[in-house]
Amino acid sequence: MNDQIFECRAAELDQDDPLAEFRGSFSIPAGQIYLDGNSLGAYQDAIHKRVQHTLKKEWGESLISSWNQAGWFDWPIQVGDKIAPLIGAGVGQVAVGDSTSVNLFKGLDALCQLQPGRRVILVQEKNFATDGYMAQALARVNPSLHVRYWRDEPLESVLDEQVACLLLSQVDYRTSERLDMSAVNRLAHSVGARVCWDLSHSTGAIPVDVLGTESDIAVGCTYKYLNGGPGAPAYIWVHPSLIEQIQPALPGWMGDARPFEFQVDYQPHPGIRRMVCGTPQILSLAALDAALDLWSEVDLAQIDAKRQSLMALFETALAEQLPSVFEPISPSDPARRGSHLSFSHPNAYPIVQALIDDGVVGDYRDPSYLRFGFAPLYLSHADVLESVSRLTRIMREERWRAPEFQVRKVVT
Ligand SMILES: *Cc1c(COP(=O)(O)O)cnc(C)c1O
């Protein structure tokens, strides 16, 4: 295919794009192509107004009465109810607050408690670092537990009746490889183990059905594809059949059944609210709540179809423009990957820096990966083609060799 054919194809796909209207809600700097929505989702102007209202009216004017009047107290669960349909959960089953890391600890601990006598937490070795750290920390405070790593062997071979709980990412943050939640849950449950899912790279990107796949607990991030803003609070979902059996690892007063009775002994709230620890992050919740408003109008099947279309165009155009320059790392089957693509190249770091300098924002991941996220709400097929053409220019002109692109920044 030559350039013109690609351009016509992209224009056609954009013309028929049922999600095109959402792009206008986002503010992306002119000339920039943002392929990093899998790390920090883009900003919507509606968020400003909402946070401003919470700051000036709710906090500034109503002060402490906003806990009742504005309903701040209920926000962790109300915002959770907006996330629920995106992951196939029911109303009142999702609590929002704390970071993903903290919720992973809470979720893992909860499942291990349900399995007295079992000693193993099974963790993917290549999982996002924080997941492994949380499992190690739980084993440290609960010395009857230890961490076992799942590497590349078949899951069956590391799964036995010693395993209390598995901690797995549905989508691998580096390679984009996707696990079949239903099949993994079935396998784990067949030996009596439970699964804590990390849905950070799935939520808002690919179809998720925590109830339909008979999951136990799921945790996820809201500042990636959900666009909740930097450090937006994470969420935790617990299967309704398990919630009443769980004594939270961090039994904060805000998860107590009657927080304003200030009892000596904690008594958990009957529902998911017990997973709320301390005072909710109201300003961040206001931003997240506003970011989630748009999702009630979004057809998730269209999100899935568009991400596949954007990714396929990127892969084909890249293979055509720069054949054999980058080694594809992500699975080629759309059903076996998330919404990002990774490519290996020995000079990945400076190439990503040169690309960012040229207005195409992706990121770099060790050991040698360029990673590009495809957020269907604000990317067009024309953007995707343009990003490939800028990458092609950088490679042909070897612009990435400039000394300023070689220096490692703190955040890559
Ligand atoms: C982004 C991400 C996290 C983030 O954890 P925080 O505690 O919110 O910083 C955790 N796990 C995975 C798999 C992620 O992709």
Q: What is the DSSP string of 288-338?
A: HHHHHHGGGG--HHHHHHHHHHHHHHHHHHHHHHSTTTSEE-S-SSGGGB-
Q: Do 197 and 88 share a structural domain?
A: yes
Q: Rounded to the nearest whole angstrom, what is the distance from the C-alpha of residue 106 to the centroid of ligand 1? A: 14
The pLDDT value recorded for residue 4 is 86
The answer to whether residue 410 is domain-embedded is no
Among the candidates 296, 314, 344, a domain finishes at 296
CA atoms within 13 A on the CB side of 54: 19
Q: Do 318 and 180 share a structural domain?
A: no
Which protein residue has the closest C-alpha to ligand 1 atom 8?
Answer: 100
User: Structural domain tally of the chain?
Assistant: 2
The answer to whether residue 86 is domain-embedded is yes
Q: Do 303 and 289 share a structural domain?
A: no
Among the candidates 236, 270, 296, a domain finishes at 296
The answer to whether residue 406 is domain-embedded is no
The answer to whether residue 139 is domain-embedded is yes
Q: What CATH number corresponds to the domain at position 373? A: 3.90.1150.10
Q: What CATH number corresponds to the domain at position 282? A: 3.40.640.10
The answer to whether residue 200 is domain-embedded is yes
Those residues whose C-beta lies under 8 Å from the C-beta of residue 77, and which sit 6 or more positions away, are 92, 94, 95, 96, 271, 272, 273, 276
Which protein residue has the closest C-alpha to ligand 1 atom 1?
Answer: 200
Asked if 381 and 10 count as a contact pair (C-beta separation under 8 A), the reply is yes
396 a catalytic residue: no
Q: Rounded to the nearest whole angstrom, what is the distance from the C-alpha of residue 128 to the centroid of ligand 1? A: 7
Q: Rounded to the nearest whole angstrom, what is the distance from the C-alpha of residue 356 to the centroid of ligand 1? A: 23
Q: One of 223, 225, 364, 378 is an active-site residue; which one?
A: 223
ω before 367 within 30° of 0 (cis)?
yes
Banded model confidence at residue 412, pLDDT cuts 50, 70, 90: confident
Among the candidates 248, 279, 296, a domain finishes at 296
The pLDDT value recorded for residue 238 is 98
Residue 353 CA to its chain's centroid (Å): 24
Collapse the DSSP code of 44 into the 3-class scheme (helix H, G, I; strand E, B; otherwise coil) and give the result: strand
Q: One of 82, 106, 194, 224 is an active-site residue; which one?
A: 224
The pLDDT value recorded for residue 243 is 98
26 a catalytic residue: no
Those residues whose C-beta lies under 8 Å from the C-beta of residue 159, and which sit 6 or more positions away, are 122, 166, 187, 188, 191, 193
For residues 357 and 351, give the distance between their C-alpha atoms in angstroms, rounded to a whole number: 10
Banded model confidence at residue 335, pLDDT cuts 50, 70, 90: very high
Q: One of 22, 43, 73, 128 is an active-site residue; which one?
A: 128
Residues with CB under 6 A from ligand 1: 99-101, 128, 130-131, 169, 173, 198, 200-201, 221, 234
224 a catalytic residue: yes
Q: What is the pLDDT of residues 288-319, one digit of tens each?
A: 999 999 999 999 999 999 999 999 999 999 99
Q: Do 70 and 142 share a structural domain?
A: yes
Q: Rounded to the nearest whole angstrom, what is the distance from the C-alpha of residue 412 to the centroid of ligand 1? A: 15
Name the one residue in this structure whose structure tokens are 């998330």. 338
Q: Do 254 and 355 share a structural domain?
A: no
Please identify, by atom number, the ligand 1 atom nearest to the C-alpha of residue 234. Answer: 8
Q: Do 359 and 277 share a structural domain?
A: no
Using CA atoms, how far residue 384 sits from 170, 249, 340, in Å, is: 25, 44, 13
For residues 45 and 40, give the distance between their C-alpha atoms in angstroms, rounded to a whole number: 16
Q: Rounded to the nearest whole angstrom, what is the distance from the C-alpha of residue 387 to the centroid of ligand 1? A: 26
Q: Do 353 and 267 share a structural domain?
A: no
Name the one residue in this structure whose structure tokens are 């790390």. 39
- For range 131-158, the mean pLDDT: 97
Which protein residue has the closest C-alpha to ligand 1 atom 2?
Answer: 200
For residues 182 and 36, give the distance between their C-alpha atoms in angstroms, rounded to a whole number: 28
Q: Do 305 and 197 share a structural domain?
A: no
For a ligand 1 pocket test, name from 200, 365, 371, 412 the mutation site with the most ligand atoms within 8 angstroms of its C-beta: 200
Residue 1 confidence (pLDDT) above 70:
no
The answer to whether residue 189 is domain-embedded is yes
Paired tokens of 239: 């299967």
Please identify, by atom number, the ligand 1 atom nearest to the C-alpha of residue 128. Answer: 13
Paired tokens of 376: 């269907």
Asked if 69 and 283 count as a contact pair (C-beta separation under 8 A), the reply is no
Buried b / exposed e across 85-100, counting CB within 10 Å, b at 16+?
ebbbbeebbbbbbbbb
Residue 209 CA to its chain's centroid (Å): 15
Q: Rounded to the nearest whole angstrom, what is the distance from the C-alpha of residue 130 to the centroid of ligand 1? A: 7
Which protein residue has the closest C-alpha to ligand 1 atom 15?
Answer: 200
For residues 405 and 412, give the distance between their C-alpha atoms in angstroms, rounded to a whole number: 12
Please identify, by atom number, the ligand 1 atom nearest to the C-alpha of residue 127. Answer: 13
Q: Rounded to the nearest whole angstrom, what is the distance from the C-alpha of residue 68 to the centroid of ligand 1? A: 32
Residue 77 confidence (pLDDT) above 80:
yes
Q: Do 122 and 66 share a structural domain?
A: yes
Which protein residue has the closest C-alpha to ligand 1 atom 10?
Answer: 100
The answer to whether residue 43 is domain-embedded is no
Q: Which amino acid is at 85?
A: P
Q: What is the pLDDT of residues 31-63, one digit of tens each?
A: 999 999 999 999 999 999 999 999 999 999 999
Q: Do 338 and 255 share a structural domain?
A: no
For residues 53 and 12, give the distance between their C-alpha atoms in angstroms, rounded to a whole number: 41
Q: To the nearest whole number, what is the mean pLDDT of the chain?
A: 97
Q: Do 274 and 164 share a structural domain?
A: yes
The pLDDT value recorded for residue 292 is 98
Q: Do 312 and 281 share a structural domain?
A: no
The answer to whether residue 81 is domain-embedded is yes
Q: What is the DSSP string of 254-292?
A: GGBSSGGG--SS--B-SSGGGG--SS--HHHHHHHHHHH
- Domain residues for the domain of 254 are 49-296
